Structure 1
Amino acid sequence: MSTPRIKVIIRCNRCGEKFTLRGRKDRGRVDTGFKQCLCSNDADFEIEEEPT
């Protein structure tokens, strides 16, 4: 059985851009495939999880 998908909201703390993605929880971490913001930020994010 596959793990349920969850809604993830990622907000960049540098430019304020907001991304809404779906991901899967794996070993306590959420995997969405998100790598970096449009402003090239790859580390400074606020991440919020919501069950779907």
Structure 2
Amino acid sequence: MRVKVKIRCKQCGERFVLRGKKERGRIETGFKQCLCDNRDMFDIEEESF
């Protein structure tokens, strides 16, 4: 299933909107880290489309 994912960095406030695949309850977008090198602190929202 394809999903739209909105990611906001809690450290610097940068926002990203990505498309990804949801399989077995996990979402894979390929996103690894923010521009500020943050890898852990994010707000993540998903929408089906």
Percent of aligned pairs sharing the same letter? 63
Q: Which runs of 5+ in 2 are unaligned?
A: none
Per the normalisation by structure 2, the TM-score is: 0.94
Residue deviations 1:13-35 (CA, integer Å, cap 9, x gap): 00000000000012211100000
Q: May I ask how many residue pairs the two structures share in their alignment?
A: 49
Of 30, 34, 38, which aligns to 2:31? 34
Letter in 2 for 1:32: T
CA RMSD for the aligned pairs? 0.6
Structure (1 or 2) with the larger CA radius of gyration: 1
Query: Where in structure 1 do 4 or more consecutive aligned residues deviate above 2 Å?
Result: none
> Within 5 Å, which residues of 2 pair with 1:10-25?
10-25=7-22
Per the normalisation by structure 1, the TM-score is: 0.89
